[in-house]
Amino acid sequence: MRIAGKGLMQGAKPVTFSFNGRHMMGLEGDTLASALLANGVHLVGRSFKYHRPRGILTAGSEEPNALVTIGSGAQQDPNIRATQQEIFEGLEARSQNCWPSVDYDVQAVNDLAAPFFGAGFYYKTFMWPSAFWEKLYEPIIRKAAGLGALSRQADPDACEKAYAFCDLLVIGAGPAGLMAALVAGRAGADVILAEEDAHMGGRLLSEVEEVDGKPAADWIAQMLEELDNMDNVRLMTRTAVTGAYDQGTYGALERVGHHHSRRAGLPRECFWRIVAKRAVLAAGAIERPVAFANNDRPGIMTAGAVRSYLNRWGVAPGQNVTVFANNDQAHRTARDLVDAGVHVAMVIDSRHDAPDSNLYPVMKGAQVCSSSGRKRVESITVRSVAGEEKIQTDCLAMSGGWNPSLHLTCHLNGRPQWNRDIAGFVPAPGTVPGLTCAGACNGEFSTAGALREGAAAAVEALVELEIKQSEVTLPQAENDLYRVTALWAVPGKGRAWLDFQNDVTVKDVKQAATENFRSVEHMKRYTTQGMATDQGKNSNVAALAVLADATGRGIPETGTTTFRPPFAPVSIAAMGAGAAGQGCKPQRFLTSHRASREMRAEQIEVGLWYRASYFPKTGENTWRQSCDREIGLVRNHVGVCDVSTLGKIDIQGPDAAKLLDFVYTNTFSTLKQGKVCYGLMLREDGFVMDDGTTARLGENHYVMTTTTAAAGQVMAHLEFVRQALRPEWDVQITSVTEQWAQFAVAGPNSRDLLNGLLKEQIDDTSWPFMACGEVEVLGVQGRLFRISFSGELAYEIAIPARYGDALFRALIEQAKALGGGAYGMEALNVLRIEKGFLTHAELNGTVTAFDLGMQGMMSKKKDFIGKAMSTRPGLMDDGREQLVGLKPVGPVKQMTAGAHLFNPDDPVERIYDQGYVTSAGFSPTLGHSVALAFLKNGPDRIGDEVRLVDHMRGIDALCEVVDPVFFDPDGGRSRG
């Protein structure tokens, strides 16, 4: 019920929203929770396990009960806390975990069966028969588990991520946080003040207090005006700091678009990474409920939440309210309600020394031991020395004291300390380097104390930051002593809830202790206490106290569970912002991409690169037809292929040759200028890292090529060798992969093709096999390498990338005139398999030079990376799987990469495995399939038959072991 004249939203505009299909009115500035209470709605959802009717317990992000689904269809957001969701025109909210409706929920039958569902129920019940687990138990549990449901549609909303840096991050904008921000801001420090709520002010928004001689709301407004006018202070509302990380890094979730209808271009959430030189934690405190039988009924709320609804939103959650407390602060709830004209039936205080009042009746030394009412509390039972008595009430405000919100101080493994005076944990100082706690989160509960500690924390930070502070006087404020006497659970029959969200009761915790789950971490996992999305913010300390009691230990000895990030739930969408869809995999396009597309080339992804797979001609219906034709072009005429994806590393300096000699197994210092050489590169453990060709363009200038797959790895490796192992060498390296476009021109007519484009004609004498040098093409300085990855007379021509498109088009045009054309990756792959050339299909990280038959390339005259370890016993044994070729025996059968090899007479079992196929394709040149494989003792088995088995594709074929060079074994074609 809304009370006229109460609350901070005087004159706010009315807003229409719907809850479970019912249209309701609220006010601008309402949360869904305050608007529902204003409409008299207490029953909001059903509990996790027992499907008990549940209402609103709190007024903040710690809310365990009032979780709702917002929106519908692809845009539905489940498990939104009604206490945080601001209402806006047209907001649709629904209850969850109930069917057919929150009022009549079929699964509420669980509540009757509750004796069977206690702690450990799953572990004890679903043990046998074991075959039932997968087919029966798990599907049922999965269906029953969880609260809200996902839409199962692609998320149409966008999130963002952002970075911020500051001198001082102030977490929480209550009196301590505002004061800290003011002191640091006035001194000129770069300040970020982050507040989880939509409005700054913290508890002051919910209390009837004066600060600096004026109403708290006016003081807040004055503070915010000053802070807002400072260029060095950034105010961030709706921003929950969710985690503390190393070196002053903090994660924060900003709710950008949840409080109004969707707007184009605006993200729903933004995940911030804030790097702060110093931080002040002023996160306040969270009030804890008291465990008594049936303390989970709608209408039973924390006392502080009742004050929030009354004082901030002008809503009385009941008309006949009772208060149950163990501390003085909770009496304010009764005072404020009476002041607002709401009837307070009774204040029940467990302490015998509770304060009296002439405004409302107080029962001292009494406890609420039960409640009744189904969908809303109707009465409570109070026990005192005089016996038990029933009191009619429609709202019980309970308070078991306050727990400092010290969660962030534990994120770097800090452990909080028990403070007897406040019957709660307080942060241990220094657990997060650079972070100081102030105010309620530090166990200082008075407003004056919060202001004082906030200012002091800022001064401490300024000293560390070496920024001179300016004068700040502390305003006058409430300075009451916080008096509390611990009360965790009221003894008695019936289930008394600790963790409302996971339906964990006092009995469950005691059961865990009985079954010897005495460690707090074991109890937590056995009962699921504190493991729901609220992470036990309301309940952990009470559960711990119950466990301590049950095991006969004190609370400090029992310890606490570990608080880990995030402090408040963060959607995966926010953390992964920008990485959905193509965002997780940027695309790299070649300079020939557009021309390839125009030629209708199919694209294939190679890492992040997109390369032309094949170029279909009219009438070609399968990739094989195009591939076979393109192979024919290369073998008989001339083909052009973009090979720019290969890594290109420019190496210059007087010691360039030394570097190459050290990273390659073979020698490059003796390579003549204007020549190219194939090189093999090992890892330090003796296995092959990569291969490629390196050209010597000048005395001190080389260009290395790497495989496409290992371009980054090789670059990092060369940098490591150069910087860490041989820093004294004068050699510089840089990646030029993207600076040069490079095209293979291969086939008998390749020289003719080039002579149609080059300024100066070439012949076999001026450009012999493995020659390289500069050429002029299209009026631009380029580079020409006579190297071949196809076994044909072939060249690779390189040109600065901005001319790549023009050169590719010119090459294709020339090729067509000579009966040739473009070829793609499919043809390139078959061409190189026919020649036994290697790619990373073969260089898979487990092969040695010996396995490739390249042991002769390992120089004996010099040291190189991997030399020592390549001599390890076992790395050159004949029994190793070594490179061979395979061709089918008998009628043409398919061979597949990944297939395993067996002796024809052996069973197809792992222990008989003889090797595996790495690459396979159909060779139109030879008229049969060809494959490369690693086979035990391979080179000695040429001519033998092996059985190729691929269970995945249902292939079982006899093959003949052959030399890996299928085509033109003496290499005459590429030299000629």
Partner 1 sequence: MRITCPNCGERDRREFYVKGAALARPDVGAGLDEWHDHLHLRDNPASETKELWYHEMGCGAWIEVCRNTVSHEVVSTRLASGAELGGKR
DSSP calls for 369-427: EEEE-SSS--EEEEEETTEEEEEE-SEEEEE--EEE--GGGGTTS---EEETTTTEEEP
- Beta-bridged to residue 273, according to DSSP, are 163, 251
Choosing from 719, 752, 960, 963, the residue that interacts with partner 1 (CB under 8 A) is 719
Q: Which stretch binds partner 1 (CB under 8 A): 96-104, 214-222, 698-706, 725-733?
A: 725-733
Q: How far is the CB of 461 from partner 1 (least distance, A)?
A: 18
Which of 117, 245, 589, 769 binds partner 1 (CB under 8 A)? It is 245
Between 716 and 908, CB nearer to partner 1? 716
Strands 249-255 and 609-614, by their bridges, are unpaired
**Which one of 24-32, 246-254, 496-504, 767-775 is the stretch in contact with partner 1 (CB under 8 A)?**
246-254
CB half-sphere exposure, 22, CA atoms < 13 A: 14
Q: Does the footprint of partner 1 cover residue 669 (CB under 8 A)?
A: no
Q: How far is CA 493 from CA 182, 308, 369, 496, 507, in A?
A: 52, 32, 9, 8, 10
Size of the residue set binding partner 1 (CB under 8 A) = 25
Q: Residue 175 is inside which H or E element, if any?
A: helix 175-186
- CB 191 → partner 1: shortest distance, Å? 19
DSSP letter, residue 484: B
Q: Does 684 bind partner 1 (CB under 8 A)?
A: yes
Residue 723 sits in the site that holds partner 1 (CB under 8 A)? yes
Among 206-214, 721-729, 908-916, 930-938, which window interacts with partner 1 (CB under 8 A)? 721-729
Q: Give the chain's length.
A: 976
What are φ and ψ of residue 393, in 5° steps? Answer: -160, 150
> For 331, how many CA atoms within 13 A lie in the half-sphere containing its CB?
22
Confirm if 312 and 7 have CB atoms less than 8 A apart: yes
Nearer to partner 1 among residue 480 and residue 684 (C-beta)? 684
Task: By CB under 8 A, tell whether 720 contacts partner 1.
Answer: yes
Q: Is 810 exposed, middle or buried (0-12, 13-18, 19+ CB in 10 A)?
A: middle
Which one, of 573, 574, 578, 565, lies nearest residue 246 by Cα? 565
Q: Which is nearer to partner 1, 430 or 768 (CB)?
A: 430
Angle at 325 between CA 321 and CA 326, to 5 degrees: 170
CA distances (Å), origin 69, targets 44, 90, 567, 662: 11, 14, 21, 63
Give the whole-angstrom CA distance, residue 766 versus residue 775. 12
C-beta closer to partner 1: residue 3 or 725: 725
Residue from 4, 724, 911, 952 binding partner 1 (CB under 8 A): 724
Nearer to partner 1, 249 or 392 (CB): 249
584 is an interface residue for partner 1 by CB under 8 A: no
Residue 11 vs 727, nearer CB to partner 1: 727
Q: For residue 962, give the 3-state DSSP assignment.
A: strand
CB of 561 to partner 1, least distance (A): 21
Q: Which is nearer to partner 1, 310 or 408 (CB)?
A: 408
869 binds partner 1 (CB under 8 A): yes
Candidate ranges 382-390, 443-451, 455-463, 719-727; the one touching partner 1 (CB under 8 A): 719-727
Kindly write down the DSSP assignment for every residue of 10-72, as one continuous string: TTPPEEEEEETTEEEEEETT-BHHHHHHHTT----EE-TTT--EE----SSTT-SS-EEEES-
Question: Under the criterion CB under 8 A, does residue 582 sit at the interface with partner 1?
Answer: no
In one-letter notation, the amino acid at residue 919 is S
Please give the structure tokens belonging to residue 743.
């095209």
Residue range at the interface with partner 1 (CB under 8 A); choices 46-54, 247-255, 694-702, 893-901: 247-255
From 244-252, 365-373, 474-482, 633-641, span contacting partner 1 (CB under 8 A): 244-252
Q: Does 562 bind partner 1 (CB under 8 A)?
A: no
Cβ 684 to partner 1, closest distance in Å?
A: 6
- Options 53, 185, 248, 692; binder of partner 1; rule CB under 8 A: 248
Give the nearest distance from C-beta 883 to partner 1 in angstroms.
25
Verify binding: residue 647, partner 1, rule CB under 8 A: no
Q: Is 18 in the site for partner 1 (CB under 8 A)?
A: no
Contact status: 727 vs partner 1 (CB under 8 A): yes
Q: Give 274 or 496: the residue with its C-beta nearer to partner 1.
A: 274
In the complex, the smallest distance separating the C-beta of residue 726 from partner 1, rounded to whole angstroms, is 6
Q: How far apart are CA 116 and CA 605, in angstroms?
A: 55
Residues 404-463 that bind partner 1 (CB under 8 A): 412, 433
Cα(745)–Cα(534) distance, rounded to whole angstroms?
Answer: 64
Helices 216-228 and 175-186: crossing angle in degrees, nearest 10, is 30
Please answer whether residues 418 and 520 qualify as being in contact, where contact means their C-beta atoms are separated by less than 8 angstroms: no
Q: Which is nearer to partner 1, 123 or 165 (CB)?
A: 165
User: For residue 475, what are its two tokens?
Assistant: 């305003």
In angstroms, give the least distance from the CB of 658 to partner 1: 11
Which of residues 10, 125, 249, 844 is near partner 1 by CB under 8 A?
Answer: 249
- Retrieve residue 315's tokens: 């809503």
Pick the stretch among 588-596, 830-838, 869-877, 891-899 that binds partner 1 (CB under 8 A). 869-877
Question: CB-wise, 104 or 163, nearer to partner 1?
Answer: 163
**Nearest distance, CB of residue 686 and partner 1, angstroms:** 9
Please choose, out of 147-155, 250-258, 595-603, 718-726, the segment that lies near partner 1 by the rule CB under 8 A. 718-726
User: Tokens 């806006």 identify what position?
Assistant: 88
Q: Does 725 bind partner 1 (CB under 8 A)?
A: yes
Footprint of partner 1 on 393-412 (CB under 8 A): 412
Question: How many C-beta atoms surround the C-beta of residue 472 within 10 A?
Answer: 16
Contact 271, 438 (CB under 8 A): no
Pick from 961, 680, 640: nearest CA to 838: 680
The verdict on 701 binding partner 1 (CB under 8 A) reads: no
Minimum distance from CB of 721 to partner 1 (Å)? 9
The pattern of x and - marking residues 824 through 863 that bind partner 1 according to CB under 8 A reads: ---------------------------------------x
Distance CA 850, CA 29 (A): 74
DSSP conformational letter for 718: H
Is the CB of 72 or the CB of 871 nearer to partner 1?
871
x/- site string to partner 1, residues 274 to 313, per CB under 8 A?
Answer: -x--------------------------------------
Separation between Cα atoms, residue 506 and residue 200, nearest integer Å? 36
Q: Closer to partner 1 by CB, 526 or 864: give it.
A: 864
Question: Which of 273, 809 has the CB closer to partner 1?
Answer: 273
Closest separation in Å from C-beta 846 to partner 1: 16
In 10 A of CB 153, how many CB atoms? 10
> Nearest Cα to 46, choosing from 108, 119, 117, 114?
108
Residue 136 DSSP code:
I
Q: What is the nearest approach in angstroms of partner 1 to the Cβ of residue 872?
A: 6
- Supply the angle between the helices 656-663 and 711-720 in degrees, to the nearest 10: 120
* Number of neighbouring beta carbons within 10 Å of residue 25: 14
φ/ψ of 285, rounded to 5, equals: -145, 160
Q: Binding of partner 1 at residue 246 (CB under 8 A)? A: yes
In the bound state with partner 1, the residue whose beta carbon lies nearer, of 28 and 685, is 685
Kindly state whether residue 692 participates in binding partner 1, applying the rule CB under 8 A: no
CB 802 within 8 Å of CB 808: no
Q: What residues between 478 and 517 interact with partner 1 by CB under 8 A?
A: none
- Of 274, 271, 258, the C-alpha closest to 573 is 271
- Site membership for partner 1, residue 273 (CB under 8 A): yes
Q: Which chain residues interact with partner 1 by CB under 8 A?
A: 245-249, 273, 275, 412, 433, 684-685, 716, 719-720, 723-728, 863, 868-869, 871-872
